[in-house]
Amino acid sequence: MKNKNILLALAAASLVGAGGYGLYWIGMNQGMKMAAPVSSASQPATGNAQNGAGIDPATGKKVLYWHDPMVPGHKFDKPGKSPFMDMQLVPVYADDAGDEGKVSISPRVQQNLGIRTAEVIKGSLSAPVEAVGSVAYNERDVALVQARSNGFVERLYVRAPLDPVKKGQPLAELYVPEWVAAQEEYLSVRHMGTVGTEGLADATRQRMRLVGMTDDQIRLVESTGKTHARLAITAPISGVIAELGAREGMTVMSGASLFRINGLSTVWVNAEVPENFAARVRPGNVVEARTPALSGMIFKGKVSAILPEVNAATRTLKARVELANPSGQLVPGMFATLNLSPAARKNVLLVPSEAVIQTGKRNVVMVALGDGKFAPVDVEIGAEANGQSEIHKGLEAGQKVVVSGQFLIDSEASLKGTTTRMSDIPAPEGGKAAGPVHRGEGKVEMIDKDEITLSHGPIPSLQWEPMTMGFKLPANGLPRNVAVGDMVAFEIRQTKDGMYQITTISPTADAPKQDMNSKPMDGAMKSEKNSDKTGAAK
C-alpha cells in the first residue's frame, strides 16, 4: 500500500511539471508576440523610413519616420515606445522635412505671444554723431601788432588783456625818431616844387614805408603837410587782446610784440569723437552746437579738420569744428554739445533696431518664413539711427523679420528641440561640438559594456521628470567604486549623435533620497523578465 501511494505521487508531480512547462512555453510565445512592435521600433529606420513610413490616420499626413524628441539623432520606421525614455515615439511628417533649423507656431499662438513683424526695406540712413567739446579761439583769425622801429610808447589806449577792440580802434601812440626824420625829408622835397622832383618825392615816400610807417600814416602826413611826432597804432581786426606786451612809457625795439589780437567772428570747438565713429566723421560735415550757457540757442558750423591723434586714455580723437559767432557770445572755455550730421548713406538695407538681438558674439534676427515658420539668421549690422539699423549681410529686401516676441520664439524652439537657435553654443578645444553639462542624482540599476542604466530624479536643466534610462559610459570608463545599487551623483552631456553620455559619476552615500517613482525603460524590464524566467526554468 505504501509503495502504491509513492508511485501515484510521482505520476502527479510529472503531470504538474509537464503542465507548468506548457503554460510557460505558451506565455513566452504570447509575450514575444506582444513585444514585437516595441522591439521593431527599437531598431534604426531602414527601408520604409527613407521611402515614407505611411499615412498617419489621425492627421492624414505622410509620416517619414518616428523619433524620440529627447534623442533626435535616432530614427525608427515604426511607432512604439522609445528605447531611451519611458515615452512613445513621435512621428515626423513630410511637411516638416528639412525644418531642423526652424520652428513652427500656429497663428493663434502667434497672436497670444504678441509677435509683430516688419519688412526689410532699402532706403537712406543718416546717422548723427553726438560729441562734446570746449570752445577755443580760432587760431586762424589772429593779428599780431609789432614795433617796426625803435621808439617810445607815449600813450596806451588798451591797458589789459582780453579787452575787446574794434577794427581801426587806436591801441597806442608811439614816438619814433626815425619816423620824424623821414617825414621831414619828404616834406622838404615836396616844398621844393621844382620840375623833376617827382621821382625824389616817391623815393622819400618809400623811405617812410621802410622805417615802418603804414599807408594810413603816410597819407596823414601828405594831407596835413606837416610832421607828426607821435603816431597812433590801430587794431587791424576786431576781437580781444589775447596778449599785451606794451606799457605806457616803455622803450620798444624794432620787432617787439606789442599786441596779439584774436578775432571772435568764428570760434573753434575741439570735439571729442569716440574712436568707433571716426569713419563717419569727415571734414565738411554740417554741425549744430548747443551750450548750457546760452540755453535755446543753436550755433551752426562745419568740421574743419580731423586731428591725426587718438587719446590713449579716452579712446577719442579730436574733430576741429568751426562755428559762426557773429555776436561774440561764444567765448573760449565754454562747454558745448555737438550734433554732427554725416552724409546720408543711400540705398542700404534697413530693419527696425528692435529686431536685432545682440548676443555678444553674434547679431541675430528672427526671419518669418511664412506658414507660421520662423528661423534665426546671423546678420552683419552697420550704422544705427532713428530706430533703424543698417544690414550689410544676411538679409534681402522684402523679407520679414520679427520685431516683437523673438525670445518667446526662441523658447518655443528650445521646447521643440530646434537645432538652430539664437543662443551661442561654445565648442570645446578640438573643434567637436558639445552641449552644456546637466547634473543629477540617481541609483545604478544596471551596467553593460557600453551603457549604464540609472533611475534618476528630476533634472531641471533638461526639464526631465524622474525616470529610468540608459546613458553612454564615460570616455575613460566607469570608476571602480561605482557598482549596481549605488546612489550616485552624475553629470551628462549630449553628444553629436543626440545621445547623452556620462561625463563624471561618483558614489554619494549620503545623497538626498530622490523620487524614483518612474517606470523602468524597456531594457530594464526585459532584463527583470528574463531573470524571472531563468529562475522559473531552474
Rg (CA), the chain: 48
Give the separation between CA 498 and CA 292, rounded to whole angstroms. 63
pLDDT of residue 511: 43
Per-residue pLDDT of the chain (538 residues; tens, 9 = 90+): 444 444 444 444 443 344 444 433 334 444 333 333 333 344 443 333 334 457 777 677 777 777 776 666 677 878 888 887 777 887 776 665 545 556 777 777 777 778 888 999 888 777 778 889 999 999 999 999 988 888 899 899 999 999 999 999 999 998 888 888 888 888 888 888 766 677 888 888 888 888 888 888 888 888 888 888 788 889 999 999 999 999 988 998 888 899 999 999 999 999 888 887 777 788 888 898 999 988 889 999 999 998 888 888 888 889 999 999 988 889 999 999 998 877 667 778 888 988 888 877 788 888 888 877 888 888 988 877 778 888 888 888 889 999 888 777 766 665 555 545 555 444 444 334 456 888 899 999 999 888 899 999 998 888 788 888 888 898 888 888 899 999 999 999 888 777 888 989 988 864 444 444 444 444 434 434 444 443 433 3
pLDDT of residue 28: 40
What's the angle, vertex CA 421, arms to CA 419 and CA 425, rounded to 5? 85
Which residue's C-alpha cell is 538626498?
512
Q: Is 241 exposed, middle or buried (0-12, 13-18, 19+ CB in 10 A)?
A: buried
User: Which stretch of DSSP H or E encloses residue 286?
Assistant: strand 286-290
pLDDT of residue 198: 76
Give the separation between CA 300 and CA 21, rounded to whole angstroms. 106
pLDDT of residue 414: 58
Helices marked H in 211-251:
215-224
At residue 311, the 3 state secondary structure works out as strand
pLDDT of residue 35: 35
The grid cell for 419 is 537645432
101-103-104-108 Cα dihedral, nearest 10 degrees: -160
Residues 304, 287 contacting (CB under 8 angstroms): no
pLDDT of residue 67: 75
Which residue's C-alpha cell is 580781444?
240
Distinct helix (H) and strand (E) counts, the chain: 8, 33
pLDDT of residue 243: 92
State the sign of the Cα–Cα–Cα–Cα dihedral 245, 249, 250, 256. positive
Amino acid identity of residue 182, one-letter, is A
Neighbours of 439 (CB within 10 A): 13
pLDDT of residue 1: 45
Amino acid identity of residue 110, one-letter, is Q
Give the separation between CA 366 and CA 404, rounded to whole angstroms. 10
- Of 179, 182, 180, which is closest to residue 147 (Cα–Cα)? 179
Give the separation between CA 289 and CA 277, rounded to whole angstroms. 18
At residue 310, the 3 state secondary structure works out as strand
Residues 80, 88 contacting (CB under 8 angstroms): yes
Q: Is 125 exposed, middle or buried (0-12, 13-18, 19+ CB in 10 A)?
A: buried
- Of 150, 205, 203, which is closest to residue 183 (Cα–Cα)? 205
pLDDT of residue 432: 43
Give the separation between CA 538 and CA 517, rounded to whole angstroms. 31
